[in-house]
Amino acid sequence: QQQVKQSPQSLIVQKGGISIINCAYENTAFDYFPWYQQFPGKGPALLIAIRPDVSEKKEGRFTISFNKSAKQFSLHIMDSQPGDSATYFCAASRGGGGTYKYIFGTGTRLKVLA
Amino acid sequence: EAQVTQNPRYLITVTGKKLTVTCSQNMNHEYMSWYRQDPGLGLRQIYYSMNVEVTDKGDVPEGYKVSRKEKRNFPLILESPSPNQTSLYFCASKLAGRYEQYFGPGTRLTVT
């Protein structure tokens, strides 16, 4: 019930294409769903996040789509660029900002071809 | 510069030799946490702390200890490391009441 399942494990996209990464969760108590971007040799960095009271959040080329009834959320990267090549992790947290429990997906390695 | 720092960045040790990985943040964050990252498993939370002298187990606490004696520091202690603790370790911190967490650069640990 605490798992967050992420797919695909790896993804290759042409420059200018759309990258889509999916995550599914089981615990309905989760109330914060972030996506992290990690470059080789670096720590994960927050990319974009959503709360379950909205179905979509967009920041530049990055969009989170959230389906509460299906318990799924996805990251869409529009106009993908070679600089977007990185590993992406979805995550889920619960209990409001007053706790520090995080469950991460297993990661998606994205490669954008020039 | 606001940051989370970890030391050492790389460590090779032998089974059973006690080690400590330090973590420090300069953002006055109340909450700090340790994660390990393994291929195919993503990041898994080891321990976290919500304030000085307040710590709690994450999902994979076995074989690890932590302490929080100062707000800025949260060391990770492996009293008797084993090869299955070979991993990439990240420290992170965040403000109480906020969701956003900030990660350190990582410590790559190899236990032979």
**Token pair 């993804």: residue:** A11
- CA A98 to the chain's CA centroid: 22
B106 and A42 within 8 Å at the Cβ level: the answer is: yes
Give residue B1's pLDDT. Answer: 85
List, for residues B33-82, the tens digit of each pLDDT value: 999 999 999 999 999 999 999 999 999 999 999 999 999 999 999 999 99
Residue A97 reports pLDDT greater than 60: no
**Token pair 């510069």: residue:** B1
Other CB atoms within a 10 A radius of the CB of residue A51 amount to 11
Residue A9 reports pLDDT greater than 60: yes
Give residue A22's pLDDT. Answer: 98
Interface of A with B (CB under 8 A): 2, 6, 9, 32, 34, 41-46, 49, 89, 91, 93, 96-107
Q: Chain A closest CA to B16's CA: distance in Å?
A: 27
Minimum-distance CB partner of A100 among B44, B94, B103: B94
Strands (E), A1-114: 4-7, 10-14, 19-25, 30-38, 45-50, 56-59, 62-67, 72-77, 86-94, 102-104, 108-113
Can you give the C-alpha Rg of chain B in angstroms? 13
Taking only residues 69 to 108 of chain B, the set having a beta carbon closer than 8 angstroms to any beta carbon of chain A reads 90, 92, 94-106
Give residue A41's pLDDT. Answer: 92
DSSP state of B81: -
B99 and A99 within 8 Å at the Cβ level: the answer is: no
Which of A35, A30, A48, A27 minimizes the C-alpha distance to B43? A35
Residues of B in contact with A101 (CB under 8 A): 45, 48, 58
* Contact yes or no for B56/B34 (Cβ under 8 A): no
Give residue B96's pLDDT. Answer: 84
Exposure of A36 in the CB half-sphere (CA atoms within 13 A): 25
What backbone torsions phi and psi does residue B104 show, to the nearest 5 degrees? -80, 180
List, for residues B55-67, the tens digit of each pLDDT value: 999 999 999 999 9
Residue A11 reports pLDDT greater than 60: yes
List, for residues A20-71, the tens digit of each pLDDT value: 999 999 988 898 999 999 999 999 999 999 999 999 999 999 999 999 999 9
Q: Chain B closest CA to A19's CA: distance in Å?
A: 20
